[in-house]
Structure 1
């Protein structure tokens, strides 16, 4: 059959596009845990929940309206606070799946795939109706100001009702950025120390990463090199920072703790000044280097840095910024000018070097959080939920010191 010359020219190009599309789809699907694994975890959650319900007939339960579809650390910080609130009021926490956007806008992943500690002695929402009949369930809405919200919610949950469903979203952005969060910190850091635990998959990958990248996992371990962790938040963050500057937003969640204000790299954040907000939210390379300088001058033995970044196929410029930063960190002349007694950085590792195996991509962001948590020094972004999650784990779960944290 005769084909027009234009079609004969386009056919090889079309074939290449199809082959490339199949290749990208194959890489995407193979890089993530199988749905079979997640189905197994969901079934295990249901089985453990039913066992708990059978063995604790007199338990009281609470189900919260949960944030849906935000980034992992936004969801995680809320889940941890909900779990903490349930424990404070002697209620069984009814947990829900994580909405995992990398798989799709409405993709659900079992919570135990990420945070095993929250699911212990808790109940999956999938069997909530087996524990709580409509007659046993009270629906409440909590409409109070941020200052009294936490204590008022505790009063409501301390009621005698067997099951309570909180229908409104109580831990909204305004509350999480307010000083009301400071009153929670004392009990929350104890909660983290006692109850926080990653899933076994995350713990395994993090241990492998420390070994392969030769990073010392904590101050008492002699294996690997002590290191600085830097959160280089770029990607789509520039537009977000412009919005925050226009709205005169301050730092979020645990970055607002009074104990951390000396950790803010000068000049201090001025929420009334949009330029100040953008400077802290989307810091220049020079500002990032200056913040690293201030930590390394006081700890001249630190000559390894791990950079947490969000470089991806749809954010390729992040890699360019990272390698520009890496070149500056390894520059001997610059290190001398900056007063680094031990010379420049000898090794720079980053998110792209974390030794993920097939089927482990869903856990990449949590492994980076754990690597930053275990670093000797952390340089993070006070507007980022990932950085503030690291801050909470370092200060709360691990009893770390504010002096070992710098907020850009």
Structure 2
């Protein structure tokens, strides 16, 4: 199923299709068809015709239900189709226990599995044309490796070439083990321990079609079918020389991501490479898509192609990762069923788009014990004391459903030094973390270090040595800039707790407005607005403090949707205990709410409760699962109801594109703390507000977030262009958009 199809339940809240005109036309077409059928049927029919029509309708209904549910059940539970194309060797048995020598796993069975899969693909489909990126990143983090694979796979698909994948490689010198932070780690980890789907040639949909490009194969099999004398080599300089030869203006070093893609497609379609069976990007050469592109907004031009590519459309997670999740699901599941809900944690209206339900069926890996016995699931002694897995809501185990979590990506370890380096370089957020709809809430502007004259003015005018003028942040020194970077990049426990509170406040406003719009008849919007204009009355206002309390609601409340906090991190247990205490203590303050007009940084405007704070360190992982734990973290974060990432992280970037692909709202994709609101100036708020309204108005006239809760720096007389206006009252903001009534939200009175 195409991931570009918006949900039928909430077409207005998940406008995944970027072409809004095409989406509106489709809706009108559906209404016209319904109307025509309504008028075609006669009002009375002879009995014999009625029986025939009734029988036909029953037959059609049966066929429809069979095709829908049968296909769904087949995709989720049946393995008959899978047996037609999967390798003869099943997925490796999971080695749960650490061997006596205590060494990390080498994953030999997984490497053999990948070879078997690739050989089976060639047996079924024949040998095609392939491209191998021998210059893929090594000796770096998983996020950097993953983003290069994703975009390399995109190029391969666009060039109609099969993608050749390799191990996640730390050392290339042939050793079995490397060292990281004084510990032994596997030098090479096969991708099948982490991923599945298109990247590994394991897409069921592609397997059942005689489609091009060829399905992905493993590097070891590529080397068998492509001896060195049959390989044709290419590098960036070669491609750039060809572009110059054909007088193309494309600069592979500095142009947009889409232009770079087009430039490489032109080079791969040149006479030298057009008929080549085996194309290899030279080892050690410059990457096709490099860190300078990934760290810049230029990469966003590739989003449309990427979102429609088989790489994301047929994405899959390794059975090893899914099994690890299922074994730890009790840590993430709610401790109790929220009141007022029918079976299932979430009501139907909270489901992600149907397009998400396209995850591949996975064989359940067995667990190999030292006595030779194979079992499906082995529970540790600690796990048997926890919730019975059978009592977990089935939707927690459904890979297409969101998890009732607020997920935080908190980098620690050596990342502090990296943050200071980022400050010295003046680096912005990673490119995929700066989409306009994300900047509307969490824009990061690189602070500019003032000149000597400007520094004197700062010292005289501000004790904080920081001023925001227009859209620019001016700081007195590099040390001040590093402090700002530290808040975004390496926050402490107090800053994290404050940021979580801010994000929760925004999420509550978002969900309340979303429910209000969902429950309002379509005809009411225009009629209410028209009546108010005709009568010359003040616009309708709705304030947060007029909402019923969380305890009075019977529908799923925001706190039902965010039951726990999950921290994706490499931090140590002592620091994580400090963060957990800060989060729980901050939520306890909500039992005595402050006035709703106060900003979240001053306290809670409503009652809130966290059932638990779970971290990466709490996961119960086996011997083979621990080295790939970061992938399990990403899997959890990409399903979380709300995600707060690190804007400078490539791993956060991948979670962001996964969440965008699956239709999460921008208010469910956030980033780490900003400087305290008392440093904000009116000009900055003015620009932020205009960007915010413009962005969301262009997305959809029914977007709930177009009336978000603005909290800081509001002053009298601030205009909002043609999109609406602000009341003279500095504690309220009123926004009117076309076809919508105006809504008033209280703000802080700084």
Taking structure 2 as the reference length, the TM-score comes to 0.46
Residues 233-272 of structure 1 aligned to structure 2 (within 5 Å): 233-264=411-442, 268-270=444-446, 272=448
Contact 2:231–2:277 under 8 Å retained in 1:
yes
Q: Does 1:208 align with 2:346?
A: no
Aligned mates of 1:322, 1:173 — CA distance in 2: 31
In our comparison, the structure showing a higher alpha carbon Rg is 2
CA-to-partner distance for each residue in 1:262-289, whole Å, 9 max, x for gaps? 2316xx3325453433332223434322
Which protein, 1 or 2, shows the higher relative CO under an 8 Å CA cutoff with sep ≥ 6?
1
Cα separation, 1, equivalents of 2:648 and 2:233: 34
Which of 124, 149, 153 does residue 83 from structure 1 map onto? 153
Query: Alpha carbons of 1:291 and 1:90: their partners in 2 closer, same or farther (altered >3 Å)?
Result: same
Whether 2:569 is the aligned partner of 1:309: answer: yes
Aligned partners of 1:137 and 1:109: how far apart in 2? 25
3-state SS in 1 of match to 2:121: helix
Q: Provide the rounded CA distance (Å) in 2 between the counterparts of 1:330 and 1:287.
A: 14
Cα distance, 1:343–1:262 mapped onto 2, change above 3 Å: same
SS at match of 1:227: strand
Alpha-carbon spacing, 1:157–1:399, altered in 2? closer, same or farther (3 Å): farther
Check the 8 A contact 2:567/2:616 in 1, yes or no: yes
SS in 1 for 2:404: coil
Q: Does structure 1 conserve the Cα–Cα contact (< 8 Å) formed by 2:163 and 2:217?
A: yes
Deviation at residue 127 of structure 1 after TM alignment: 2.3
What corresponds to 2:187 in structure 1?
107
Larger relative helix fraction: 1
Contact 2:565/2:612 (CA < 8 Å) preserved in 1? yes
SS at match of 1:29: coil
TM-fit CA distance, 1:404: 0.7
Structure 1 pair 212/328, CA: closer, same or farther in 2 (3 Å)?
Answer: closer
- Name 2:585's counterpart in structure 1: 328
Task: Report how many residues are paired.
Answer: 374
The aligned residue for residue 363 of structure 1 is 628
2:498 aligned to which of 290, 293, 300:
290
1:179 is matched with 297
Partners of 1:305 and 1:362 in 2: how far apart? 23
* Contact 2:590–2:604, Cα closer than 8 Å, also in 1: no
Query: In the alignment, is residue 60 of structure 1 matched against residue 129 of structure 2?
Result: yes
Shift of 1:363: 2.6
For the residues of structure 2 that align with 1:340 and 1:281, how far apart are their CA atoms?
27
RMSD, matched Cα = 2.9
Residues 196-218 of structure 1 show CA distances to partners (whole Å, capped at 9, x for unaligned) of 11111101222333334315799
Q: Cα distance 1:260–1:28, how it changes in 2: closer, same or farther (>3 A)?
A: farther
CA pair 200-263 structure 1, distance change in 2 beyond 3 A: farther
| Runs (5+) with no aligned partner, structure 2 | 1-97, 171-177, 202-214, 238-251, 335-344, 352-392, 397-402, 450-480, 509-557, 595-602, 673-750
For the 8 Å contact 2:432–2:656, the answer to whether it is kept is yes
Which of 223, 231, 244 is residue 137 of structure 1 equivalent to?
A: 231
Aligned partners of 1:281, 1:108: CA distance in 2, in Å?
Answer: 29
C-alpha distance after superposition, 1:96-139 (max 9, x if no partner): 11125667577011111111121112111112233224443221
Q: What's the offset of the Cα at 1:164?
A: 1.3
Q: Given the superposition, is the C-alpha separation of residues 296 and 52 from structure 1 closer, same or farther in structure 2, using an over 3 Å criterion?
A: same
User: Which of the residues 236, 255, 260 maps onto 1:149?
Assistant: 260
Q: 1:43 aligns with which of 112, 125, 146?
A: 112
1:35-82 deviations in whole A, cap 9, x for unaligned? 3xx111111212222333344445111011200021112111211111
- 1:119 equivalenced with 2:220 (yes/no): no
Contact 1:309 1:351 in 2 (8 A): yes
Q: Does 1:29 align with 2:29?
A: no
Partner residue, 1:226 = 404
Q: CA deviation at 1:324?
A: 4.2
Question: For residue 485 of structure 2, what is the aligned residue in structure 1?
Answer: 277
Q: Mapping of 1:365-404 within 5 angstroms?
A: 365-396=630-661, 398-404=662-668
Q: How far did 1:85 drift?
A: 1.5
Q: What SS is found at the alignment partner of 1:376?
A: strand
Give the corresponding residue for 2:316: 197
Q: Which runs of 5+ in 1 are unaligned?
A: 1-24
Report the TM-score, using the length of structure 1 for normalisation. Answer: 0.82
Pair 74,29 (structure 1): closer, same or farther in 2 beyond 3 Å: farther
Match of 1:348 among 613, 629, 639: 613
Which residue of structure 2 aligns with residue 3 of structure 1?
none
